[in-house]
């Protein structure tokens, strides 16, 4: 009887572990900044958390983001101005494409 109870507990725990991580849905945010030489950094802000993205010829991608609303902050190189894009939504494991972002002088 004890062996059956241990087996049952083990099966329940394994089932929980197997299904616990399947409901985590992650998405991303991508975009391209023009002119590429006008940007020095791109950061994603969510509450008090900030994450930076690598830039590749002005293109950036944030991955593994939970569903939610984010702010994208772009640090411009002189003579270009900083830019902020508010209320960027990531939904249901989709990637939100911000398209081309033109920096202002």
Domains of the chain, each with CATH number or no CATH: 25-102 (2.60.40.10)
How many Cβ atoms sit within 10 Å of the Cβ of residue 26? 13
Judge residue 71's burial from the number of C-beta atoms within 10 Å of its C-beta, 0-12 exposed, 13-18 middle, 19 or more buried. Answer: middle
pTM for this prediction: 0.74
pLDDT tens-digit profile of 24-75?
679 999 999 999 999 999 999 998 999 999 999 999 999 999 999 999 999 9
User: Among 50, 43, 40, which Cα is nearest to 78's?
Assistant: 40
User: Band of the pLDDT at 92, cuts 50, 70, 90?
Assistant: confident
* Phi, psi angle pair for 54, to nearest 5°: -75, 140
The predicted pLDDT at position 1 comes to 58
Distances (CA, A) of 91 to 8, 12, 22, 78: 37, 31, 16, 34
């Amino acid at each position: 009887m004890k062996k059956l109870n241990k087996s049952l507990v083990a099966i329940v725990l394994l089932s929980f572990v197997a299904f616990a991580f399947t409901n985590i849905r992650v998405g991303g945010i991508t975009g391209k900044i023009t002119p590429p030489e006008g940007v020095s950094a791109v950061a994603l802000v969510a509450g008090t958390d900030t994450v930076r993205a690598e830039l590749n010829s002005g293109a950036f991608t944030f991955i593994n983001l939970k569903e939610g609303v984010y702010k994208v902050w772009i640090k411009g190189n002189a003579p270009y101005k900083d830019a902020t894009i508010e209320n960027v939504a990531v939904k249901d494991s989709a990637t939100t494409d911000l398209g081309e972002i033109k920096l202002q002088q």
